[in-house]
Amino acid sequence: MRISQTFSKTTKTVPGDEKAINALLLIKAGFIYKEMAGVYAYLPLGLRVIENIKTIIRDEMNKLGASELLMTSLQAKDVWQTTGRWSDDVVDIWFKSKLQNGTEVGLGWSHEEPLMAMISKYVKSYRDLPVSVYQFQTKLRNELRAKSGIMRGREFLMKDMYSFNRSQKELDDFYDRTKQAYLNVYERVGLGPYTFMTFASGGSFTQFSHEFQTETSSGEDVIYLDRTKRLAVNEEVYSDSVLAQLGLKKSELEQINAAEVGNIFNFGSVKGEQMGVYFTDDKGIRQPIYLSSYGIGVSRLMGVIAEHFNDESGLVWPEAIAPAKVYLMAIGESKVTKLADQIYNILTGNGVAVLYDDRDIRPGEKFADADLMGIPWRVVVNSESVTNDRYEIKSRSKKTSEYMKQEAMVKKLAIHG
């Protein structure tokens, strides 16, 4: 990607009502555009980050044996009425509308009910189970507050997965495997050391759900954390009886602020019974399907990463999800530019994602943009590169520079990480 060919630019101007660090940085760096409170567009560089996060999540979900699909955003009223969740008294974040013929529809905030209805058309026998499916889809939730940038949006990208099982034990086995898959995701995007499985309210279906909370001062949740066990309890269920049940000691817990980056929920057989979704077991007896759901807010995860990895100069992306691995810049006249073009072709030819700053602007602006955008490695091509085969390579996270010849530089960047 050549910066001269992209329309988005870095900026010092941000919306006056924007207070969240993640949104301020992402807007300044040219990664997102604010449409309105809680609603953001993802510009080319921002979309690259989103796609890199999706690639990691997709890999971990595929390893579980789940299949990817894409459901509809328009939701049928009657499907949700079967479980009572169409009511605004039960779910107060619906966006609802009407078709021209007067039929009421909802805009999808989750997909348990529609997927159960769909699965009922395909699953009849125990031989058809277990099944697990997932999707990446834009969700719409009429949040009362949307003041945390992309960490809490009214429109956001979510990965939601659902497993359909023959028994509680079969469901529990998949549920436990998914816990580890989620921890793998957070490790791979750079948040592993700061993310903890957290016991939260299970609502009316089960005592607990499990959240994955990342420690951050800007987090909206309060959790009580045992750092040694890497387990936490959400403030909403924090009590002596819960701590005793979980084997946690109040004296060993630390109160911290955190942001939820994932949630998994075990519905058991309740949804199947409510919606009349059954299968025939190996003895010919009708049994309700067991359901669990698993969510990761992909855009929220991007926001939490931006909150966590930044400094006084801008973003500092972990290499696994950065929009490019190398920020390449040319400082000099035509011979330097010609060499920089060659380096760009060499690096991309070796599989290195490069953001090439080929603009005719002052060097200081290029250096500032490189830091603001947070690309892991910066490579400077200048007159010394032309005359002495000497290139400056700087690590964004370590803030250290080294000078290398072209062959060594290419080899380092092609295999690093």
Per-position pLDDT tens, the chain of length 417: 899 888 888 999 888 888 899 999 999 999 999 999 899 999 999 999 999 999 999 999 999 999 999 999 999 999 999 999 999 999 999 999 999 999 999 999 999 999 999 999 999 999 999 999 999 999 999 988 777 889 888 999 999 999 999 999 999 999 999 999 999 999 999 999 999 999 998 765 567 889 999 999 888 899 999 999 999 999 999 999 999 999 999 999 999 999 999 999 999 999 999 999 999 999 999 999 999 999 999 999 999 999 999 999 999 999 999 999 999 999 988 899 999 999 999 999 999 999 999 998 999 999 999 999 999 999 999 999 999 999 999 999 999 999 999 999 999 999 754
Backbone φ/ψ region at 54: left (φ over 0), alpha (ψ -120 to 50), beta: alpha
Q: Looking at the DSSP assignment, which residues form a beta bridge with residue 97?
A: 105
Secondary element (H or E) of residue 334: helix 334-349
Whole-number Å distance between alpha carbons of 50 and 36: 20
- H-type alpha helices, 42-148: 44-63, 77-81, 112-119
Full set of structural domains in the chain with CATH: 3-311 (3.30.930.10), 326-415 (3.40.50.800)
